[in-house]
Amino acid sequence: MKFKEYLVTNSDNTAGSAAVSAAGIPAASKNKVYENCKQLIVKIMPAHPYQYLLHGELKSLLIPEIIQSIKKKYHIELITFIITTTQAHEYNSVLSQTDCEVIYSKAHYPFALEKVLKISGEHQLIDWFEFIILAKSTVGKHITHFPVSVTLFGADEKRWITNGPLTISEIAEQAGILSEEYIFSDHPYTGSVVKSDKKIDELCAHEILIYPKVNSRKRSLLKNIVSKFLSQEQNIGEIFKTDNIYENKPCQKCLKCVSICPEELTPFMLSAISERGSLKEAMELQIDRCSECGLCSSTCPSRIPIMQNIQKLKKEL
């Protein structure tokens, strides 16, 4: 359950509303009350390698008065912040002035609470933007916009952050590209492709990754793969043969998954390895670099669940 669904007060609808209806953003429910939560855990960590965090706005809300107001208003006994180790120096001096617990951890995707913190009793985990909503509503401020981080891959990689609600076509206009020449994917770990007329209006932090439909790399992908990973005596079609693995949907070795991979991996090979290969082979192919964006699965003409196979293999590492 998203925090915004029950972030309200008993009587003050203005403070309890997480959004302004006129802005086209769904307002939080006014029929639910945030209660029975002894520990609130706030994850100030990116959901995946490409996500931006509004560190400036976050730090401006991490003051003793706001922290105490949240605890008192919602009867929370302990607030725990989980922050990436790379941001420790930025947050340590700010949070040391507040009555809260702070844990620094390396970022890992997808995030698993049990890797970082042992908890008992009633608790609620929220992300960094849900905390911004909570902190601002506690002091009676409205949220009228939400962040959309955008990464454009290709010859000229661009990264920026914009405000929602907006459509994919508007993002394409900001990037100065033609939407029909690019693939738009939302994150994290869904691998879903979004259409240019889709409007992003949900009150949460969003990510949009943009990839060119045509491979922009000048080197020969197949030649590079063969020369890097296979000896002259080996045949790529036989070693990574998938006819018996995916019934009626064999891999065509079209390399579309390779062309679109933002990490320049060989997804079709990793997918085949997940069924009958070795972890050593997977590490040689740098499986640990996979961000699980899912574009390989979305572009595969054989509809092979490449990303899911890679995820299964990564769990064995």
The sheet with strand 78-84 has its strands ordered as 101-105, 78-84, 39-44, 123-127
pTM of the model: 0.66
pLDDT of residue 69: 93
Answer for the pair 81, 103: CB distance below 8 angstroms, yes or no. yes
pLDDT of residue 3: 31
pLDDT of residue 165: 93
Structural domains in the chain, sorted by start:
3-138 (no CATH), 146-212 (3.10.20.30), 221-314 (no CATH)
* 195 burial type by CB count under 10 A (0-12 exposed, 13-18 middle, 19+ buried): exposed
pLDDT of residue 113: 87
Of 111, 48, 120, nearest to 82 (Cα)? 111
Helix extents (H) in 40-124:
55-61, 64-74, 88-95
pLDDT of residue 47: 82
Amino acid at 71: K
pLDDT of residue 316: 74
Report d(CA 44, CA 53) in Å as an integer. Answer: 8
Instruction: List per-residue pLDDT tens for the chain, 317 residues long.
Output: 223 322 322 223 333 333 333 333 344 433 334 566 789 999 999 887 778 899 999 999 999 999 999 999 888 999 999 999 999 999 998 999 899 999 999 887 768 888 888 877 788 899 999 999 999 988 888 888 899 999 887 767 788 999 999 999 999 999 999 888 888 887 655 656 788 889 999 888 898 888 887 655 544 555 555 555 555 445 555 545 555 555 557 787 777 788 778 777 888 888 888 776 667 778 888 888 887 777 788 778 888 888 888 888 887 76
pLDDT of residue 83: 95
pLDDT of residue 197: 85
Tokens of 276: 């009958």
